[in-house]
Amino acid sequence: MRILVVEDDQDLQRLLKKSLSEAGYVVDVASDGEEGHFLGDTEPYDAVILDLGLPKMDGVTVLERWRKAGRKMPVLILTARDRWSDKVAGFDAGADDYVAKPFYTEELLARLRALLRRAAGIASADIEVGPLRIDTRSSRVTVDGNPIKLTSLEYRLLSYLAHHKGQVLSRTDLVEHLYDQDFDRDSNTIEVFIGRLRKKLGVDIIHTVRGLGYRLDEPSAVGDTN
């Protein structure tokens, strides 16, 4: 899952990037409203963490422009604790949730997970597909109750497929959501990681849809070629 952090406080920006990366997310950062607006308008993010008090373009304006342009990614705004009017303005501009500064990183991560689940139509913190279970809080993966050890990239790929279970995702779509903007992207690597995941999971739940991409679905799904 790919996240954009728009925050001009460099210390907080570094903290957020570190915490999100350690939680298994791919993170891009922007230090002002103009850069943040450009990235959010041109790159496919799964969610955005947006400070409202930004230089060059304030966060409310950034968010309003995204929404007017049809950008629908979940947005979590950061506000000063005593500025309730900022929270109202943020929600009216199209924000999905907020965290007041100063905040606990654990709370921000929990709210981000909830936004991602809500956007995917998933109610529980546990995502289940057949015998597969993903605990999004701990990044723990099990099959029939047995733990599966995955690399960080394998987990990101599986998690993205799981958040879009039943949907066909192209290689290009997967690459865009698994790597940051500076990574030398190669869609051919997706096939390699899909093969590794299938071998480690040991169950027939990652289906190849010829000419289109991959779909995570129940083992009983038919009409696919693996």
User: CA triplet 145, 151, 156: central angle to 5 degrees?
Assistant: 85
Q: Tokens 């007041």 correspond to what residue? A: 100
User: Looking at the structure, do residues 186 and 165 belong to the same domain, yes or no?
Assistant: yes
Give the pairing of strands 213-216 and 206-209. antiparallel
pLDDT band at 226 (very low <50, low <70, confident <90, very high): low
d(CA 99, CA 76) in angstroms, rounded, equals 7
The residue segments making up the domain with residue 102 are 2-119
User: Looking at the structure, do residues 198 and 110 belong to the same domain, yes or no?
Assistant: no
d(CA 222, CA 226) in angstroms, rounded, equals 11
What pLDDT, on a 0 to 100 scale, did the predictor assign at position 24? 87
| Single-letter residue type at 59 | G
User: Looking at the structure, do residues 7 and 106 belong to the same domain, yes or no?
Assistant: yes
What pLDDT, on a 0 to 100 scale, did the predictor assign at position 223? 45
Tell me how long the chain is.
226
User: Looking at the structure, do residues 153 and 180 belong to the same domain, yes or no?
Assistant: yes
What pLDDT, on a 0 to 100 scale, did the predictor assign at position 181? 63
* Cβ atoms of residues 47 and 116 within 8 Å: yes
d(CA 67, CA 35) in angstroms, rounded, equals 16
pLDDT tens, 176-210?
888 766 655 566 788 889 999 999 999 999 999 98
User: Looking at the structure, do residues 22 and 107 belong to the same domain, yes or no?
Assistant: yes
Residue 224 domain flag: no
Of 100, 119, 138, which residue is a domain's last? 119
User: Looking at the structure, do residues 149 and 108 belong to the same domain, yes or no?
Assistant: no
Residue 224: is its pLDDT beyond 60?
A: no
User: Looking at the structure, do residues 155 and 176 belong to the same domain, yes or no?
Assistant: yes
CATH number for the domain harbouring residue 132: 1.10.10.10
The stretch 117-140 carries a mean pLDDT of 91
CATH number for the domain harbouring residue 94: 3.40.50.2300
Residue 140 domain flag: yes
The strand pairing partners of 51, in sequence order, are 78
pLDDT band at 221 (very low <50, low <70, confident <90, very high): very low
pLDDT tens, 35-87?
999 999 999 999 999 999 999 999 999 999 999 999 999 999 998 867 788 88
User: Looking at the structure, do residues 137 and 113 belong to the same domain, yes or no?
Assistant: no
DSSP conformational letter for 121? T
How many structural domains compose the chain?
2
pLDDT tens, 89-106?
999 999 999 999 999 999
Nearest to 77 by CA among 57, 56, 101, 55: 101
What pLDDT, on a 0 to 100 scale, did the predictor assign at position 177? 86
User: Looking at the structure, do residues 47 and 140 belong to the same domain, yes or no?
Assistant: no
d(CA 154, CA 46) in angstroms, rounded, equals 17
User: Looking at the structure, do residues 58 and 142 belong to the same domain, yes or no?
Assistant: no
User: Looking at the structure, do residues 107 and 134 belong to the same domain, yes or no?
Assistant: no
d(CA 21, CA 179) in angstroms, rounded, equals 12
Q: What is the pTM of this model?
A: 0.84
Residue 180 domain flag: yes
